[in-house]
Amino acid sequence: MNRRDLLKAAAAAGALNLAWPLAVGLTPAQAREAAEALGADYDPAPFTLGVASGDPQPHSVLLWTRLAPEPLAAEQQLPEIVEVQWTVAEDPRLSRVVARGTTSASATLGHSVHVAVDGLRPGRHYWYAFRALGKTSRTGRTKTAPTGRIGKAVFATANCQAFHDGYYAAHRGIARENLDFVIHLGDYIYEHGQVGGVPESHVRDHDGPEILTLGDYRKRHALYKGDRSLREAHAAHPWFLTWDDHEVVNDYSGTGGGAPFMKRRAAAYQAWYEHMPHRDSFGSMALPDPEIHRVRSWGELLELTVLDLRSYRSAQNLPDGTILGEDQKAWLKQGIDQAPDAWHVWANSIMLSQLRGRPGGSYMFTDQWDGFLAERKEVLGHVHASGLEDLVVLTGDWHSAFVDDIQVDFDQPESPLVGTEFTAHSVTSGAYSADWNAANGPLMGKANPHLKYFEGNRYGYDVYEVTPERFSTHMRVIGDRRDPLSPVSTLTTFHVDRGKTGSYEDPGTKGSPAQYRRD
Amino acid sequence: MNLVVNGDAEAGPGGSADPVASVPGWRIAQGAPALIAYSLGGGYPTPADPGPGQRGSRFFSGGNSPRTALVQDVALPARGTTGPRAVDAGRVRYALSGWLGGYATQEDGARLSVEFRAADSTPLALSVLGPVSSAERLGRTALVECRAEAAVPPGARSARVLLVFTRSGGGTSNDGYADALSLTLHATGGQS
């Protein structure tokens, strides 16, 4: 019986009332059993949530795990401090050990483990595992950043993975790609309560009402990691991370909230840190305000700038509003001034390009950069004035694929082009209907002369193949998000040539389905 | 011994509601705080409002910035019953406390946290206090005692204390208040 049939059978038998949604009042063990009965699974305890690595640098990578024998419990029945051993080796069997050590997992941080391993060699794969409480974790694979001139880099982005909207076949695909690294662009979890409608309109559901407390956010992260494909993708590649709004709450601004919201935000940020391979040891602040923005290099080929568009933003639509915050904006502009000759990639959670819904119409969403017009013009004007070339912006949030060529001033047809933005399909989070996409794709194309392409009927992830001469974006799509094993195919490919502004679609895939394509 | 330097806002310039450019013991990471005298009046906490019993003459506030952040890096004892050997043997606990509050029914707030860090600055433990909501202050201007306690993780070599004031809504004054901030270590018999 496949999972969909199982869900239907369970629904017919009335079992879903107990199993999905995960009824409030279940013990953590019962909730886990209910989740597992309908498709979720976990690694063996205590490493139920798997392993991960992140923030790869030439000599260092951050390793992560969390001890969670009962993943759906707010607090673990463990000693207050648990000793955790870690091993890094040059081979999958962990026989050629290059680094090992011991660290502490504290209940105050959800028994999460973050280890910054140093002394590694650039551009190399390494394998790693943890040991605690007499058990050994699965073995993860990671890679350090190369140095010097390199001929190629291949990486992926993922974004928007609403648990209830589908299985993570996209992450299964990412795990199987031959990648240097992965960037998550945000909306890793969703904060809202149960959506219902399982199994006809949703394959699974959240484990309770809207999340507010640290315990709530911990359980939600653990629920999402109950999809084995997500754990596989983490274990297969190092990740860079940014976030969007749903890691806390829809459309929030990081500043200006009252005490109850600030308490909620701190809980959400802490839980995010506890569940992510995030390096937080170099900044000027401290938890529970992790510092996300950073610049990293992949050899001399690629400079990656990770942006945080949530922590420091003001309210939308203010004349002097900010999406970056003053300090991050100054840091970004300084980085632009000092940028080396390389591809410049910005990990940008939410759409940078202007997007009007119809000719003469208003902006679609002002939660994105369209709500921060003066700052966008200032930043893009600075890009142009500084002479920065080869800028590619990678974006999530929209649940649909867009390709935009970026102008300093989108309302001025003659305004200079300064780069290209690729907005990727979501992993699972629901897009507009096919009818909406068919009707509105052409309207958006007409209203936004910089928009090259729109496709909103599919789900997946993007893979980027970067050489000194060309930046290529392959839009990987899955066949059916209701199928955890759904196969992956390439819908289309866009290229940007080095030293030239503007993108173009690969002639070999130009006939692929889309709801708008500027010919 | 309280490891927080100037946790009572008594040292350095201040006394009025005007923001100050420096605070002894602290690095101003964002915004600018005011170190206000309890005797100032004008709606700010007074000696008669709920707050620390031994409150000295001044308290911290967020000044005029929407978000003001103060950071203090604390070196852990180099020796003794709470030194690195005891820490690595799991025989040291910490207590973080502070009086945190705000103005009347407004939701401006103050948050105090401590992060214990490994030698390479990787976070190993975290305790967060506040911010205190107006409901927790029963809708009146007050500072409320907050406290957390936990084990210092083996491997911890420093602590970073973070004090953040946030302003809600409009207005100018950031009316998150804090006073009597304390971080102490104490030795225990063995691994807890």
Q: Which CATH number fits domain B27-187: 2.60.120.260, 3.40.50.720, 1.10.340.30, 1.10.8.290?
A: 2.60.120.260
B161 exposed, middle or buried (CB, 10 Å; 0-12, 13-18, 19+)?
buried
Report the sign of the C-alpha dihedral through residues A440, A446, A451, A454, in that order. positive
Backbone angles phi, psi at B156, to 5 degrees: -70, 135
Query: What was the pLDDT predicted at A134?
Result: 98
- Nearest-Cα distance to chain A for B118, in Å, is 9
pTM of the model: 0.96
Collect the ranges in chain B with pLDDT lower than 50: 191-192
Report the sign of the C-alpha dihedral through residues A447, A453, A457, A460, in that order. negative
For A117, nearest residue in chain B (alpha carbons):
B120
Q: Among candidates A269, A233, A350, A276, which has minimal Cα distance to A55?
A: A276
Q: What is the distance of C-alpha A356 from the center of its chain?
A: 25
Q: Which residues of A touch B (CB under 8 A)?
A: 79-81, 83, 102-104, 106-109, 114-116, 118, 255-263, 266, 270, 273, 279-282, 284-289, 327
CA distance B6 to B14: 13
Q: What residues of chain A lie within 8 A of the CB of B125, using their CB?
A: 104, 106, 108-109
CA distance B121 to A116: 9
> Where do the domains of chain A lie, and which CATH numbers do they carry?
1-145+216-238+262-274 (2.60.40.380), 154-186+292-517 (3.60.21.70)
Query: What was the pLDDT predicted at A21?
Result: 47
Q: On the CB side of A248, how many CA atoms lie within 13 Å of its CA?
A: 26
Name A330's Cβ contacts closer than 8 Å, sequence gap at least 6: none
Beta-carbon separation of A81 and B67 below 8 A = no
Query: What was the pLDDT predicted at A402?
Result: 98
Reported ipTM: 0.97
Count of pairs with CB atoms under 8 A, one residue in A, one in B: 122
CA distance A191 to A272: 12
Q: What residues of chain B lie within 8 A of the CB of A270, using their CB?
A: 126, 128
CA distance A131 to A415: 57
- Nearest-Cα distance to chain A for B102, in Å, is 9
Backbone angles phi, psi at B113, to 5 degrees: -140, 155
Query: What was the pLDDT predicted at A8?
Result: 55
Beta-carbon separation of A286 and B168 below 8 A = no
Report the sign of the C-alpha dihedral through residues B171, B173, B174, B177, in that order. negative
Helix, strand, coil shares of chain A, percent, nearest 5, are: 25, 25, 50
Which of B123, B128, B150 faces A266 most closely, judged by CB atoms?
A: B128
For B174, nearest residue in chain A (alpha carbons):
A256
Q: Among candidates B126, B133, B63, B27, which has minimal Cα distance to A270?
A: B126
Query: What was the pLDDT predicted at A417?
Result: 97
Which of A106, A115, A262 faces B166 most closely, judged by CB atoms?
A: A262
Query: What was the pLDDT predicted at B192?
Result: 43
Collect the ranges in chain A with pLDDT lower than 70: 1-24, 38, 254-255
A403, A453 contact by CB (below 8 A): yes
A232, A175 contact by CB (below 8 A): yes
Beta-carbon separation of B126 and A256 below 8 A = no
CA distance A269 to B123: 14
Which H or E run includes A393? strand A391-395
- Nearest-Cα distance to chain B for A48, in Å, is 20
Helix ranges (DSSP H) in A25-127: 28-37
Beta-carbon separation of B124 and A83 below 8 A = no
Q: Among candidates B14, B162, B16, which has minimal Cα distance to B100?
A: B162
Q: What residues of chain A lie within 8 A of the CB of B32, using their CB?
A: none
CA distance A75 to A146: 39
- Nearest-Cα distance to chain B for A316, in Å, is 13
Token pair 């300090």 is found at: A327
